[in-house]
């Protein structure tokens, strides 16, 4: 309680001192004469403070002589003798400033009227009736008298009825706050309109503005000239030019191709090319008679044109045979035919390939010939069919100098391979006697000429010995059984001209001596088998050189572990053919080289610490 009383007494004492103190007078010193000021400008109001403490209020009257209203410039500012004032509002010719102390209530008013004038903006470009073009750059110009600060530039225009409702007016801010320097470069974008006008206004005094009269913004046109419908253009021809007209377009163009009359994928030909009216084009890809060209402004997607009608892209190579549904047999000779057009910069040399599994996700293509010189026009290649049969075959003819120039058969054709199946002897219970006549039987399909019949007395290690060579393929042959006696005999029948097409009887059968004498080899007379065993480790192959496959023959003087591998000329492992235990005798294994390229390879036989090397030559 005592503290509160002390505070009140102290406060009253200070107030009494201030009230009875002697201060000078407030006095406006500027503006205090008939000066001219401008809205938007910054000025400094000054006054004598009269050493009055505290704060002052500053007021403005724009019509002092006519009893005008006092406006508040600032409600409270330190009585330090000056205040920075950015002039706002309207103009006036009888303006006065008043400074009023918030402490004593004393005030002073300017001694004379001064003038506040309003700046003006006048747009000088574009002018009414002017024609502008989308994609061009034009100058927006204006004169702004005594206007300080930035300006805002807006475009007003009506939009096409096809895109927006009738009488729709669109306001687009071109420059939100740009320097008030009297001009701005304008890159014209957007939609065309025949009713446009520009508005320029003060950035902070929006009522200080000006607009132009109506002018037009026009859209440039692109017109495709070539190809525009009905043309036949040869693929990979470097003399082809795409041509178009776009005289008022100030933009690069984007050129696309569609091969399906506008449906599906549009392929980019030129992502951005100068609008010169023509560009050299080398057509690539699949041929089609449903092609269209589209040309579009890069920065204005709605400025575009497309060929009036479809045109054709022709393939300079066209396979004509086999082209689907043909049935050709292994061993036969047929002509692969194709048409070859004259091309600039393309040699008349082709590569011919075959696939037997076209429908697979990754068809394997065999090279039939790697460098075949043809001529312009109808061409052919004589092909002797080899390899496996298939119903999923197609031919590819490819320009040697440009793999993109190629054609493939339109549909699958069939390669039929001959087959043979030994039907007798085929079970292990069969026993033939030396000197008796037995009939060897086999079935066949897609026959290709005569056959040869062989026997192996010590299957699978023994050699194949010829019984009949190049006999008619009628499914049977009589044989006077010959020795030696053995329980591991098998028969093989193969086509003489195509020995890879063969069959071996399914099971071992026995050949025995007549009942009046002799024994079965390997039982009472082991020397009969020993006569068939090699005395040294041997390694050979046939055929060699080979095209797609060869047979590796190896002889073992003793039983043991055998490892056979194939390496290329760099020493890289290509294939492992054998890695197991074998009895003594002659053995063989097939080596398929379909996926290998032409070159030299080495077959290595490892047996009981010994190594034999056989050179293989692969020729495609």
The reported pTM is: 0.51
> What is residue 161's predicted lDDT score, i.e. its pLDDT?
55
d(CA 153, CA 209): 10
User: Mean pLDDT over residues 292-309, rounded?
Assistant: 94
Per-domain boundaries in the chain:
19-117, 120-218, 223-314, 317-416, 419-530, 538-618
Distance CA 121, CA 205 (A): 11
Q: Three-class SS string for 334-371? A: EEEEEEECCCCCCCCEEEEEEECCCCCCCCCEEEEEEE
Q: Which of 208-217, 375-384, 601-610 has the lowest mean pLDDT?
A: 375-384
Written as six digits, the tokens of 183 are 């001009």
pLDDT at res. 530: 44
Instruction: Answer yes or no: is pLDDT of 58 > 90.
Output: yes
380 vs 340: CA distance, rounded Å:
10
The C-alpha atoms of residue 436 and residue 376 are separated, in whole angstroms, by 65
The residue-averaged pLDDT of 437-443 equals 90
Is residue 444 very low, low, confident or very high in pLDDT (cuts 50, 70, 90)? confident
Q: What is the pLDDT of residue 378?
A: 79
Across all residues in the chain, what is the average pLDDT?
86
- State residue 528's pLDDT score: 40
**Cα three-residue angle 436-439-440, rounded to 5 degrees:** 125
DSSP conformation letters of 491-512:
EEEEESS-TTSEEE-SS-EEEE
Phi-psi category of residue 236: left, alpha or beta, with phi > 0 → left and psi -120 to 50 → alpha: left
The per-type count for the chain, helices as H runs and strands as E runs, is: 2, 52
pLDDT bracket for residue 371 (50, 70, 90): low
Tell the CATH topology of 317-416: Coagulation Factor XIII; Chain A, domain 1 (2.70.50)
Helix, strand, coil percentages for the chain (3-state, nearest 5): 5, 55, 40
- pLDDT confidence band for 308 (50 / 70 / 90): very high
Q: Give the model's pLDDT for residue 529.
A: 41
120-218 and 223-314 in the same fold: yes
Give the model confidence (pLDDT) of 78-99 as tens digits.
999 999 999 988 889 999 999 9
Third-level CATH fold of 120-218: Immunoglobulin-like (2.60.40)
- Output phi, psi for 578, to 5 deg: -140, 140
pLDDT at residue 520 greater than cutoff 70: no
For position 496, what pLDDT does the model report?
Answer: 87
Q: Does domain 19-117 have CATH number 2.60.40.10?
A: yes
What pLDDT score was predicted for residue 447?
Answer: 76
Cα separations (Å) of 524 from 49, 483, 510, 515?
Answer: 147, 15, 15, 14
Q: Give the pLDDT mean for 307-311.
A: 96
Contacts of 72 (CB under 8 A, 6+ apart): 57, 58, 59, 60
Q: What is the CATH architecture assignment of 538-618?
A: Sandwich (2.60)
> What value does the mean pLDDT take over residues 514-537?
55
Provide the pLDDT for residue 15: 47
CA-nearest of 469, 464, 467, 466 to 449 is 469
260-275: pLDDT as tens digits = 999 999 999 999 999 9
Residue 457 pLDDT? 94
> Across the strands, what pairs with 541?
552
CA 201 to CA 174: how far, in whole Å? 12
Average pLDDT over residues 196-225: 91
Of the ranges 13-22, 123-132, 373-382, 470-479, the best mean pLDDT one:
123-132
Q: Label residue 614 by pLDDT band (50, 70, 90).
A: confident
Q: What are the pLDDT digits (tens) for 137-196?
A: 999 999 998 888 899 999 998 865 555 555 578 889 999 999 999 999 999 988 888 889
Q: Which residues contact 224 (CB under 8 A, 6 or more apart)?
A: 243, 244, 293, 294, 295, 305, 306, 307, 308
- Residue 115 has which token pair? 């003038």
pLDDT tens for 32-49 read 999 999 988 899 999 999
The percent of residues in the chain predicted with pLDDT above 90, rounded, is 50
Assign domain 223-314 one CATH number from 2.60.120, 1.10.10, 1.10.3470, 2.60.40. Answer: 2.60.40
Could you give the CA distance from residue 142 to residue 40 in angstroms, rounded to a whole number? Answer: 18
Domain 419-530 coded CATH 2.60.40.10: yes
């Amino acid at each position: 309680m005592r503290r509160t009383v002390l505070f009140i007494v102290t406060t009253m004492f200070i107030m009494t001192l201030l009230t009875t103190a002697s201060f000078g007078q407030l006095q406006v010193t500027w503006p205090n004469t008939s000066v001219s000021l401008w809205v938007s400008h910054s000025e400094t109001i000054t006054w004598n403070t009269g050493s009055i403490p505290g704060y002052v209020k500053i007021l403005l009257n724009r019509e002092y002589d006519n009893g005008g209203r006092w406006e508040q410039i600032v409600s409270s500012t330190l009585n330090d003798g000056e205040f920075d004032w950015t002039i706002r509002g309207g103009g006036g010719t009888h303006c006065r400033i008043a400074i009023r102390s918030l402490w004593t209530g004393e005030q002073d008013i300017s001694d004379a009227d001064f003038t506040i004038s309003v700046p003006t903006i006048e747009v000088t470009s574009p002018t009414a009736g002017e024609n502008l073009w989308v994609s061009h750059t034009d100058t927006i110009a204006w004169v702004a008298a005594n206007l300080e600060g930035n300006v805002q530039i807006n475009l007003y225009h009506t939009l096409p009825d096809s895109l927006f409702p009738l009488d729709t007016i669109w306001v687009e801010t071109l420059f939100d706050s740009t320097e008030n320097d009297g001009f701005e470069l304008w890159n014209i974008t957007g939609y065309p309109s025949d009713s446009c006008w520009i508005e320029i206004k003060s950035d902070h005094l929006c009522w200080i503005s000006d607009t132009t009269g109506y002018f037009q913004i026009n859209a440039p046109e692109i017109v495709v000239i070539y190809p525009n419908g009905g043309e036949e253009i040869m693929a990979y021809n470097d003399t082809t030019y795409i041509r178009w007209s776009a005289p008022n377009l100030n933009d690069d163009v984007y050129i696309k191709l569609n091969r399906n009359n506008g449906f599906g994928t549009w392929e980019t030909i030129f992502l951005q090319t100068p609008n010169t009216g023509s560009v050299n084009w080398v057509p690539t890809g699949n041929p089609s008679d449903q092609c269209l060209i589209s040309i579009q402004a890069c920065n204005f997607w709605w400025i575009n044109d497309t060929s009036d009608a479809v045109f054709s892209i022709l393939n300079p190579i066209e396979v004509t045979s086999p082209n689907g549904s043909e049935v050709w047999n292994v061993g036969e000779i047929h002509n692969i035919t194709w048409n070859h057009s004259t091309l600039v910069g393309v040699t008349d040399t082709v590569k011919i390939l075959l696939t037997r599994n076209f429908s697979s996700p990754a068809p394997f293509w065999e090279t039939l010939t790697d460098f075949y010189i043809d001529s312009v026009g109808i061409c052919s290649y004589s092909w002797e069919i080899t390899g496996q049969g298939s119903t999923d075959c197609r031919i590819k003819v490819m320009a040697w100098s440009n793999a993109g120039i190629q054609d493939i058969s339109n549909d699958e054709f069939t390669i039929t391979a001959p087959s043979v199946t030994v039907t007798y002897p085929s079970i292990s219970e069969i026993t033939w006697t030396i000197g008796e006549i037995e009939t060897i039987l086999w079935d066949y399909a897609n026959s290709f000429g005569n056959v040869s019949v062989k026997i192996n007395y010590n299957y699978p290690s023994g050699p194949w010995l010829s019984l009949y060579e190049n006999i008619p393929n009628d499914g049977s042959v009589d044989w006077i059984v010959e020795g030696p006696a053995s329980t591991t005999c098998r028969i093989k029948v193969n086509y003489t001209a195509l020995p890879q097409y063969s069959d071996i009887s399914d099971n071992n059968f026995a050949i025995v001596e007549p009942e009046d004498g002799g024994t079965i080899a390997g039982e009472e007379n082991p020397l009969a088998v020993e006569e068939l065993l090699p005395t040294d480790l041997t390694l050979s192959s046939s055929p060699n050189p080979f095209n797609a496959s060869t047979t590796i023959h190896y002889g073992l003087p003793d039983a043991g572990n055998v490892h056979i591998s194939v390496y290329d000329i760099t020493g890289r492992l290509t294939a492992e053919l054998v890695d197991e235990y074998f009895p003594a005798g002659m053995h063989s294994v097939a080596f398929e080289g379909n996926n290998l390229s032409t070159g030299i390879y080495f077959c290595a036989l490892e047996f009981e610490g010994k190594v034999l090397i056989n050179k293989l030559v692969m020729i495609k």
